[in-house]
């Protein structure tokens, strides 16, 4: 939710090379083409948000090009006029604006994001976590679809040695059973899950994977399926069903729970409307008895910082997909998100989301900029 009309908004498009190609059933990325939103309040305080879209319309959000056009020619100008900015198809764009506005307000008040999110919660006393540095168990995602089995095994072993609590392998028909077996053999003590990104057309394709005793299978079927269809498929599965791309809003989380269509909820703030909406989804899902984790969207440091705070909320009972900045990029646009010696993710502290971009890196990686006043 946008809380005030800003004095100015700055949109920056940056291209940051990934350490290695990210390959899933939806597509591949070798570069993070990301939009940052700088929100200047009337009192002069600046806040930041990130729109972590992909070059293709993935994770049930718009593509980066669509987001850029939407932010700079539609949402931004309307916002400066004081008009509503709800726009169909611009999910992550709207969330980035909401997050930048929230970050600016919290910085103006000298408050941290975790304080805001916990103060909204009915589940946890603020004193339990506000202001405390927290470290979170991690799930390392192996997004190397189609890679040789030996490479997958090496990645799983490296994850175990780095302190991961879980490994999640990206799968698709024809790239599943043997790959999962190789990962399990390499890291038998780790929890193992799979993420299909909606690539299976029916349960028969998934039978062998379903029999492996995984922690969960994430989004095996299309996000276009109805809740009733997903509920029927879930009833026939042995493995807990996690939903990701199907959950595009807090209302979707509620509908999936009501229909009995989900066991595990993947929370992605940029897809649910921003960090406040994501926190509400965490609280609802946990209260409904579902397992919850915060999934990653290949965010840079600004988006990763906010998502890490959401992942630290009491309702998140499974390891987060979020990893350190160094796992994805050689140099982040801000102080990197890091892990401790045990391999746990260190949740940022400080005013707002706890991170601000380094202006020199914005100049280094920037490819476009629009300022609205």
**177-186 and 203-210 are packed helices; what angle lies between their axes, rounded to 10 degrees?**
20
Query: What are the tens digits of pLDDT across the range 27-43?
Result: 778 899 999 999 999 99
How many structural domains comprise the chain?
2
The answer to whether position 243 is within a domain reads yes
Percent above pLDDT 90 for the chain: 87
Do 97 and 25 fall within a single domain? yes
Range of the domain at 94: 8-110+358-372
The answer to whether position 352 is within a domain reads no
Query: What are the tens digits of pLDDT across the range 86-142?
Result: 777 899 999 999 999 999 999 999 999 999 999 876 655 443 444 567 999 999 999
Name the nearest CA neighbour of 136 among 114, 157, 153.
114
Confidence of residue 57 (pLDDT cuts 50, 70, 90): confident
Do 76 and 162 fall within a single domain? no
Do 266 and 170 fall within a single domain? yes
Do 156 and 258 fall within a single domain? yes
DSSP codes joined into one string, 151-205: HHHHHHHHHHHTT-SEEEEE-BTTBSHHHHHHHHHH-TTSEEEEE-TT--SSHHH
Do 139 and 76 fall within a single domain? no
**Mean predicted lDDT score pLDDT of the chain:** 94
CATH number of the domain encompassing residue 236: 3.20.20.120
Question: In terms of pTM, does the model score above 0.75?
Answer: yes
Length of the chain (residues) = 373
How high is the pLDDT of residue 122? 60
Percent above pLDDT 70 for the chain: 95
- Number of Cβ atoms within 10 Å of the Cβ of 64: 23
How high is the pLDDT of residue 18? 95
Mean pLDDT of 196-210: 96
CATH number of the domain encompassing residue 102: 3.30.390.10
How high is the pLDDT of residue 60? 62
Comparing 121-135, 174-188, 275-289, which segment has the lowest mean pLDDT? 121-135
Whether the CB-CB separation of 62 and 53 falls below 8 Å is answered with yes
Q: How far apart are CA 54 and CA 201, in angstroms?
A: 24
The answer to whether position 162 is within a domain reads yes
Contacts (Cβ under 8 Å, ≥6 apart) of 115: 106, 126, 130, 131
Do 43 and 170 fall within a single domain? no
Do 106 and 132 fall within a single domain? no
Do 153 and 239 fall within a single domain? yes
SS3 state of residue 115: helix
Active site residues: 170, 268
Q: How far apart are CA 309 and CA 358, in angstroms?
A: 20
Do 202 and 299 fall within a single domain? yes
Dihedral sign for Cα 102, 108, 114, 115, please.
Answer: negative
């Amino acid at each position: 939710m946008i809380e005030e009309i800003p004095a100015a908004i700055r949109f920056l498009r940056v291209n940051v090379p990934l350490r290695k190609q990210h390959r899933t059933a939806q597509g591949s990325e070798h570069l993070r083409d990301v939009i940052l939103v700088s929100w200047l309040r009337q009192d002069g305080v600046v806040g930041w948000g990130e729109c972590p879209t992909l070059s293709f319309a993935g994770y049930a959000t718009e593509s980066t090009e669509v987001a850029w056009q939407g932010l700079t020619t539609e949402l931004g100008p309307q916002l400066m006029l004081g008009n509503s900015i709800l726009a169909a198809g611009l999910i992550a764009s709207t969330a980035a604006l909401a997050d930048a506005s929230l970050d600016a307000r919290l910085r103006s008040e000298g408050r941290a994001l975790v304080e805001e999110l916990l103060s909204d919660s009915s589940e946890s006393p603020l004193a339990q976590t506000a202001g405390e540095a927290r470290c979170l168990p991690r799930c390392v995602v192996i997004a190397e679809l189609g890679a040789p089995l030996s490479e997958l095994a090496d990645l799983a072993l490296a994850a175990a040695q780095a302190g991961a609590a879980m490994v999640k392998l990206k799968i698709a028909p024809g790239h599943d059973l043997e790959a999962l077996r190789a990962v399990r053999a390499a890291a038998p003590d780790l929890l193992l899950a799979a993420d299909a990104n909606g690539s299976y057309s029916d349960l028969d394709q998934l039978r062998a994977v379903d029999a492996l005793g995984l922690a969960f299978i994430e989004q095996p079927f299309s996000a276009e399926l109805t809740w009733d269809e997903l509920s029927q498929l879930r009833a026939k599965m042995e493995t807990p069903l996690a939903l990701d791309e199907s959950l595009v809003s807090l209302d979707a989380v509620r509908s999936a729970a009501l229909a009995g269509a989900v066991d595990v909820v993947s929370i992605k703030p940029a897809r649910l409307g921003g960090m406040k909406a994501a926190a509400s989804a965490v609280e609802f899902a946990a209260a409904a008895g579902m397992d919850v984790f915060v999934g990653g969207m290949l965010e840079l440091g600004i988006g990763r910082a906010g998502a890490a705070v959401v992942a630290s909320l009491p309702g998140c009972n499974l390891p987060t997909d979020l990893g350190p900045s160094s796992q994805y990029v050689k140099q982040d646009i801000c102080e990197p998100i890091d892990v401790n010696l045990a391999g746990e993710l260190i949740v940022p502290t400080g005013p707002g989301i706890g991170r601000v971009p380094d202006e020199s890196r914005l100049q280094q990686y920037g490819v476009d900029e629009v300022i609205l006043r």
